[in-house]
Amino acid sequence: TNNLPDCSNMCHESSGTALIESIGIGKGSVTVDDLEHADLIVIAGQNPGTNHPRMLSVLEKAKSNGARIIAVNPLPEAGLIRFKDPQKVRGVIGHGIPIADEFVQIRLGGDMALFKGLGRLLVEADDRAPGTVIDREFVTAHCHGFDDYVRDVRQVDLEEVLAATGIEESQLRRVTDMVAASHRTIVCWAMGITQHTHAVATIAEMTNVLLLRGMIGKPGAGVCPVRGHSNVQGDRTMGIWEQAPESFLAALDARFGITSPRKHGYDTVEAIRAMRDGRASVFVGMGGNFASATPDTEVTEAALRTCALTVQVSTKLNRSHLVHGRTALILPTLGRTDRDVYNGIKQVVSVEDSMSMVHLSRGSLQPPSDYVRSEVSIVCHLARAVLGP
């Protein structure tokens, strides 16, 4: 099947779409080392203290190396205002360290206007001192559409930017000066950017500002979409995508001697519609809590109940187990922390993080039962039972 809805449809789908158009790959371009050695880090639509707490130690190190941090958020995030590292003595008994140098308390949905406004002010700053703000050499060598972009941002009405963002012009210009002065800039973002209806356009504008300054493809600079679900980036890399490109499908066919469907399958929203309308009758979920995580809970639950069969492969109980088709199966599976031994051999799984680094993950805990299988084992045995050896 090519009907492969997954959690990336709900989180960084817009990041992938925008970045493929802008830089040719739908992933981040930085590593942890880049973050630790950046001059300026812009964090928009992301709350590290709440959703990515381990990132705060990276930001703390970046601050100690001299980085400045701009937080763009409608609500003050405690972790970005001040961080107390519980693994350090000074974090436990001290007052912590301030993280954000500039807190931009933006209106909901005003991020695109902010970066359009930054684009205009950066272009005007380069007009006053040609060659000091725009990286002309980088733009000439690696970018296209520069003249169209400049014409577009020159037409941006700053009064409209201020109305859309809710910030003062003095702060907008202060942020512009910080971006213009930085030699190594990274922009990080998460769901506060990606889940708006204009998310793709917003991420494109964020990337445009970086390209204008030549902040792609060099140490300490680039784009950083911060992902949260375990291995959500890795599953897309290895082909969990309802719109897999021809190059991937051709390689898959050649390797396994199959003929993959070329028509695009169902993403998460279309899968819900297909179940609702009777175009899909079997739902198999691995990981997650589909009924609760997807939009419009009432419609989603009604769609699941129309299925002839629903199968949930899960590490723990969740709401989706109560929302099922005429026949329902709940298959317990090993978690990442459980020891996986198959035919006397310890097993590992591969995971890919937000920095595109692939790691091996090994569980060490005693499994809840000798009969519980790993997700990989369940998929392989299902394939053998359905398709034959």
DSSP for 130-154? TTSSS-HHHHHHH-S-HHHHHHHHH
- 243 and 307 fall within a common domain: yes
Among 167, 197, 225, give the residue marking a domain's end: 225
Distance in angstroms (rounded) separating the CA atoms of residues 159 and 377: 59
- 19 and 136 fall within a common domain: yes
Q: Which secondary structure element, helix H or strand E, spans residue 44, and what is its range?
A: strand 40-44
Between 169-181 and 111-128, two packed helices, what is the crossing angle to 10 degrees? 60
In a 3-state reduction of DSSP, which class is residue 376? Answer: helix
Model pLDDT, residue 117 = 98
183 domain-assigned: yes
Tens of pLDDT, residue by residue over 188-198, are: 999 899 999 99
- 263 and 215 fall within a common domain: no
- 329 and 256 fall within a common domain: yes
84 domain-assigned: yes
37 domain-assigned: yes
Model pLDDT, residue 90 = 60
Global pTM value = 0.87
Regions of the chain where pLDDT drops below 50? none
Q: How many domains does the chain have?
A: 2
Model pLDDT, residue 85 = 64
Please choose, from the candidates 239, 243, 249, 314, the residue with its C-alpha nearest in 3D space to the C-alpha of residue 284: 314
Among 160, 192, 225, give the residue marking a domain's end: 225
Model pLDDT, residue 81 = 78
- 185 and 294 fall within a common domain: no
Model pLDDT, residue 6 = 86
Among 188, 210, 225, give the residue marking a domain's end: 225
List the CATH number of the domain containing 378. 3.40.50.740
Its domain, for residue 149, covers 7-225
Model pLDDT, residue 237 = 84
